[in-house]
Chains A and B, each alone.
Chain A
Amino acid sequence: MTSPLKTEGGGASVVVDGDKESAKESQTAQVEGRSPGRLMWIRFKRDRTGVISAYVVGFFFLIGLLAPLISKLYGKDPYTVYADERPELFDSAGVPVQPNGGISGDFWFGLEPGNGYDVFTKLIYGIRTSLMISLAVTVAVVLTGILLGVTAGYLGGKADFFIGRVIDFLLAIPAQLFFIASMPVVVSLFVSPRDETPTYVRVVALIAVQWALGWMSLGRILRGTTLSLREREFIEAAKVSGASSRRIIGKEILPNVVTPLLVQSTYLLPNFVTAEAGLSFLGVGIVEPTPDWGQMFSKASTELVLQNDLTYMFFPGVSMIIFVVAFNLLGDSVRDAFDPKSAR
């Protein structure tokens, strides 16, 4: 339910503060011989919350990356139907007969009601799927944001007006309704209805629809930053000295928008994770048997789980809360590291 605009509200002031600051910093850097990046790094390392959050976030990415290896060591995979393999562990409706969702030495996080998938491997593979998708959306959004935001801000005039109207239009689209409506269409673009829909098609479709409505806030922020940079002396100087637009954008503007870019990206990624999970929850994202974080929530909201197995829903639920909290704290720390003044 989090509107992507929210990050914009919080971020707008950061941007303006941010570039004033970076200019000051570059002066300090000459005196002390430290680059702004290094300064930021030093400040970040001093922030204990930030460092811990970074470790937690890193841990999640590591789990996602190493999911196949972990499940190999653990000796199970998320596709085995334990309700048929080990029927003694389930009743006829597929609910684990052991208390607490069938948690045991064999099944660390228990078994999923229904087909009896192993929850532990399903969760780590689910994290892998969700993070992969969200990371791809973030990259796509950042690239689009840079391209359109910086273009609009630097060129101004008609381009700015046009991109601005496109942003206005896209912001008026009810995002969730649009996702639901467009997922089947986008999937059908990739695959004829006769063939099996491979998982990657759903993944690509999810990335595409979230990207289409995800880049506007970042685009606006970058436009604003670029707009204010354009009027600054060092850009004027570069222009006067005859540098090409390409060079100015590449050498002068881009390095100066890295700060808001990085801060915004750390706020955007968890939003994309929860939005992707929401779509799978509604049944238009990733579907069984492909493990996915959101799809586990969808399972958790079925009668079967609600009636019989409360334990199950805590694994996707708690892990996602930890992930989102850690990522948001990390975002705050990154922002503070860039801009000590805004520490709250």
Chain B
Amino acid sequence: MLRFLIRRTLGAVVILFLLSIVTFLLFFGMPRDPALMMCGKACTPANIENIHHVLGLDKSIPEQYWTFLHNIVLGSDAFTQGPCPAPCFGYSYNTNEAVWPTLMDRLPTTVSLTLGAACVFLLVGLGTGLLAAWKRGTLIDKTFTAGSMVISSMQIYFLGPLVLAVFVYQSHLFDKPAYNPFTADPVNWFSGLIIPWVVLSTIFAAQYTRMARSSMVEQLQEEHVRTARAKGMSRRYVFFRYAWRGSLIPIVTIFGIDLGSLLGGAVITEYTFGLPGLGQLAVQSVAFSDLPLLLGVMLFAATMILLFNIIVDTCYAFIDPRVRLA
């Protein structure tokens, strides 16, 4: 178990390292010079040079990259804006705020959005999916199957604006979604996120319904389940004792992957509802050629994905006794 975790963690670090190189190179392909933007109105070539110097953009790319890595691990005091303890991603070119605190500042929005929606879609999706499988062939099954088919084919960029238009703009039943910290006011936190939660979890729940149903149906055809049935165990017993455990495995995989990628920034959802999370931060950082922020968001998002991959693989061991981690 421990060896497995160490091996996977090392692998993840290597991937993150490679990803930081890719993002770094990507930035150098960007058509814009951040110095031009920071330089402002009365800009002289000398000023631009000076900004390049301050930002360290006058050094060679490997050198800059090395500084970047060094700062993440050890922090740095070299910034004019102030000290930058590890993990130091530097200061944003655009807002002059330190990147890591900015990420931590935006994280609660993304976490609230994701976890809130995840609870709903996992429960609803699994529930309806298993129910459909249990009632296979009945009207309930057909309704759920057809419904989930249509809903899962909707996109957030359609359902989101639609819900906004109907419930916020036309009927004024709800407030425009906003993020208010849970610690400040739980009621506002809840009411501000209810629409994003509903939209996000509706679409995901429909996908999970489909997955849960087909996974369960598949399980019921497995040899060991059929054997159990043949031995005279009741359908109910087999269903709830054997089959559902097996059917969870693919769902746990997908759930882990979904959660990881959502926690790294639910870009389209945050963009649709104007929520100030990590995804919105990423869109901003690209619009402003903000390399430190972009690197920060990318690496954070990738870390989330990798972390959840490891978590998923670890979970296997608990759900499926056949899996041994080595």
Contacts and interface: CB of A to CB of B under 8 A. Distances in A.
Nearest to B15: A172
B178 interface: no
Contacts of B155: 1, 274, 277-278, 297, 320
A273 B111 CA distance: 28
Contact of A1 (B22, B31, B156, B294): B156
Max count, chain B CB within 10 A of own CB: residue among A3, A188, A189: A3
A9 interface: yes
Contacts of B72: none
Interface string A271-308: 00010011001101000000000100110110001110
Given A1-B204, A169-B19, A174 B29 contact: no
Nearest to A193: B31
Contact of B153 (A3, A282, A284, A324): A324
Contacts of A294: 157
A177 interface: yes
B84 to A, nearest CB: 23
Given A9-B254, A172-B19, A281-B268, A306 B298 contact: no
B297 interface: yes
A171 B11 CA distance: 13
Interface in B4-39: 11-12, 15-16, 18-19, 22-23, 26, 29-32
Contact of B158 (A174, A316, A344): A316
Contacts of B286: 180-181, 184, 284
Interface stretch (B61-69, B97-105, B165-173, B233-241): B165-173
Interface in B133-173: 149-150, 153-158, 160-162, 164-166, 168-170
A75 interface: no
Given A306-B165, A310-B170, A328-B149, A181 B157 contact: no
A186 B22 CA distance: 14
Interface in A6-54: 6, 9-10, 13
A235 interface: no
B217 A344 contact: yes
B272 A301 contact: yes
Max count, chain B CB within 10 A of own CB: residue among A176, A317, A328: A176
Given A9-B253, A310-B166, A301 B157 contact: yes
B204 to A, nearest CB: 7
B11 A168 contact: yes
A185 B168 CA distance: 37
A173 B164 contact: no
B268 A278 contact: yes
Contacts of A9: 211, 250, 253-254
Nearest to B200: A1
A193 B250 CA distance: 46
B214 A344 contact: yes
A215 to B, nearest CB: 17
B261 A3 contact: yes
Given A3-B261, A9-B250, A282-B268, A313 B26 contact: no
A281 B29 contact: no
Max count, chain B CB within 10 A of own CB: residue among A10, A172, A178, A182: A172
B267 A297 contact: no
A184 B30 contact: yes
Nearest to B278: A177
B317 interface: no
B126 interface: no
B175 interface: no
Max count, chain B CB within 10 A of own CB: residue among A171, A181, A305: A181
A62 interface: no
Contacts of A320: 153, 155, 158
B15 A301 contact: no
Given A3-B258, A9-B211, A172-B19, A310 B165 contact: yes
Contacts of A317: 154, 158, 162
Contacts of B130: none
B297 A177 contact: yes
Interface stretch (B48-56, B85-93, B190-198, B300-308): B300-308
A301 B257 CA distance: 28
A294 B158 CA distance: 10
A193 B36 CA distance: 15
B305 A172 contact: yes
Contact of B265 (A177, A270, A300): A177
Given A181-B26, A301-B272, A282 B19 contact: no
Contact of B306 (A13, A172, A177): A172
5 closest cross-chain pairs (CB), A and B: A188-B31, A174-B301, A324-B153, A185-B29, A301-B161
Interface of B: 11-12, 15-16, 18-19, 22-23, 26, 29-32, 149-150, 153-158, 160-162, 164-166, 168-170, 200, 203-204, 207, 211, 214, 217-218, 250, 253-254, 257-258, 261-262, 264-269, 271-272, 279, 282-283, 286, 294, 297-298, 301-302, 305-306, 309
Given A174-B261, A325-B149, 10 more contacts: A1-B262, A168-B11, A169-B15, A172-B302, A172-B306, A177-B264, A177-B267, A177-B297, A306-B164, A310-B162
26 contacts: A1-B203, A1-B266, A3-B257, A3-B258, A3-B261, A5-B257, A13-B218, A169-B19, A172-B12, A172-B15, A177-B282, A177-B298, A180-B282, A277-B157, A281-B271, A297-B158, A301-B272, A306-B161, A310-B170, A313-B162, A313-B165, A320-B155, A320-B158, A321-B154, A325-B149, A329-B149
Interface of A: 1-3, 5-6, 9-10, 13, 168-169, 171-178, 180-182, 184-185, 187-189, 193, 270, 274, 277-278, 281-282, 284, 294, 297-298, 300-301, 305-307, 310, 313, 316-317, 320-321, 324-325, 328-329, 344
